[in-house]
Amino acid sequence: MPPSGCWGHAMHESSEQTAPYSAFIWYHADAGLSGSLQTWVEDMGGQLKVRSRLLVRSEPGRTTFMEIYEGIADNAEQAADVVRRIETCAAQQACCSALDSPRRAELFARAGDSSI
């Protein structure tokens, strides 16, 4: 059972993206984890109330996943706090403990946003 405070209910997609910062978290993992990772990303996005997606790239001998959480914060400091929350929750998930590489997070701001 997921830990309290680290599991959402469903994927949430907002029709309007107001916050300019988004998080991209990537790692290598067995392709067989795809289903459980997809569920994890959808649930985390639901908890955060942001649009979340899981992308995958398969190459011979390696599968790369990228979690995307869009519009998570209005500034870099808040965005970093959200990523810390995501990573704290991820550390408690069985699917995230079975990865082939560390999780790597990067923050990006929407181009042309006047609040940046």
Domains of the chain: 21-109 (3.30.70.100)
- Phi then psi dihedrals of residue 98, to 5 deg: -105, 20
- Round to whole Å and give the CA distance between 32 and 29: 8
Question: Would you write out the chain's pLDDT as a tens digit for each of its 116 residues?
Answer: 344 444 433 344 444 557 899 999 999 999 999 999 999 999 999 999 999 999 999 999 999 999 999 999 999 999 999 999 999 999 999 999 999 999 999 999 988 875 65
Contact 110, 24 (CB under 8 A): no
